[in-house]
Amino acid sequence: MDFTLTEEQRELQEQAARFAEKELVAVARELEATNTPLPRAYLKRLAEMGYLGINLDPRHGGVGLSHLEAALVLEAVAKLSPAVAFPIFESCFGPVLALQHFASDELKGRIIPKVCAGEMIVAVSMSEPEAGSALTDLKTRGEMVGSEVVLNGQKRWCSGAGHSDAYVIYCRLSEEPGAKGIGAVLVEKGAQGVSFGKAEQLMGFRGIPSADMFLDNVKVPAGNVIVPAGGFRKLMEAFDLERCGNATMSLAIAAGALDYVLDYVQQRRQFGKPLVDFQAVQLKIAEMAMRIDAARLLIWRAIANAAQGLPSLRESSIAKCFANEMTREVCGAAIQLMGGYGYNKEHPIEQRFRDAWGWGIAGGAIDIQKINIAAALVDRRFDQRR
């Protein structure tokens, strides 16, 4: 078992960090200030660097590297800003993976090359007003009418709503109750009957648009079905990799916070000496570093054990849960170490704290991950309805 990155992996990681520092700093500040998504010109730059298809099939425009290489790039860019890294997250760890694993060759060939080229953003739309953690309660329906699927319903917390070009819609495709009736359909933005609600004003995640999505007799070709009714388990297997992407975003936020505060405590002086010379500060930054390293190793374990496939529910849930809790602790500690400066918008730590909190809600809340972990340990699912 070797925990050392190869020379090629280190070079990829360093290249991504240099790219982010050279080309994305100004736009990251703009997205935070204006709460607008990454401009398409920068999306094309991410594509030119190969970052939108690192772990995607070369037959569809991807680079064909492993999920671990994708995580290395995602962490390096997200250390600067989750908003500028979000297209990498969605293409390498989000809904595009469901397309690659489960969609027809025709649908994959039509959509994935455009994602890799920076010409299309694909978002996922899972939650509904009455179906969040209880995802099998979703009500959005897709009815087969001839050679088309007709969709009706309302989706909530759709990241990229109105900005993305296509959406992987989790919906009910048969009358079977619960998970048995659920599948997924690709709906493109311009389809007749698709509309969006007002943009959500969130505590963090500025630059990552979120809104309700409304489907009113939306008709798409039957070939847009990614997973038919009864394929809910497949969808959640793909979501296990999304958890690793979520965890990597948490990791990046915390690692960036530690980098920043390490510089601060060496420069800031109190009582005639740098803050880092105080034992209490030394203990705190050591604890922060320990938690960050532990999160990184848990994420890498889940990803490495998946190879080119999909990680286990247990390992991906442990990685996400630990990273989500860790980043809240680390960013909170960073604010405390910086005092009033950490609480001031002139420094990036308060933004990191706000962003850090969101990842433990998005993609399955922390407590839901703990239930998943317990279920994996005893090898059975727990019915929350009884």
**DSSP string of 89-100, one letter each residue:** HHHHTSHHHHHH
Q: Does some domain include residue 311?
A: yes
Q: Classify residue 384: in a domain, yes or no.
A: no
Statement to judge: residues 154 and 83 lie in one domain:
no
Q: Are residues 41 and 85 in the same domain?
A: yes
Domain count, the chain: 3
> Last residue of a domain, which of 116, 151, 172?
116
In this structure, of 58-72, 145-159, 228-242, the range with the lowest mean pLDDT score is 228-242
Structural domain contains residue 2: no
Domain extent at residue 278: 233-378
pLDDT digits (tens, 9 = 90+) for 80-92: 999 999 999 999 9
Nearest to 241 by CA among 160, 327, 352, 124: 124
Q: Looking at the structure, tell me whether residues 145 and 204 fall in a common domain.
A: yes
The percent of residues in the chain predicted with pLDDT above 70, rounded, is 99
Amino acid identity for residue 177 in this structure: P
* Euclidean distance between CA atoms 195 and 216, whole angstroms: 8
Same domain, yes or no: 80 and 94: yes
Q: Is 271 inside any structural domain? A: yes
Say yes or no to pLDDT of 311 above 80: no
Q: Kindly state the DSSP code that residue 197 receives in the 8-state scheme.
A: -
Statement to judge: residues 259 and 308 lie in one domain: yes
Mean pLDDT for the stretch of residues 61-78: 96
Q: Are residues 146 and 112 in the same domain?
A: no
CB 128 within 8 A of CB 156: yes
CB 355 within 8 A of CB 202: no
Q: What is the pLDDT of residue 385?
A: 74
In this prediction, residues 215-238 reach a mean pLDDT of 92
Q: What is the pTM of this model?
A: 0.94
Q: Which of 199, 228, 257 is the last residue of a domain?
A: 228
- Residue 22: which CATH number? 1.10.540.10
What's the pLDDT score for residue 308? 60
Q: Which residue has the tokens 């809104």?
A: 211
For the chain, first and last CA: distance in Å? 43
Please tell me whether residues 251 and 369 are part of one structural domain: yes
Closest CA to 177 of 130, 230, 227, 219: 230
The angle at the Cα of 326, spanning 332 to 7, to the nearest 5 degrees, equals 115
φ/ψ region of 69 (left if φ > 0, alpha if ψ in -120 to 50, else beta) reads: alpha
What stretch of H or E contains 335?
Answer: helix 313-338
Q: Is there a single domain that holds both residue 20 and residue 126?
A: no
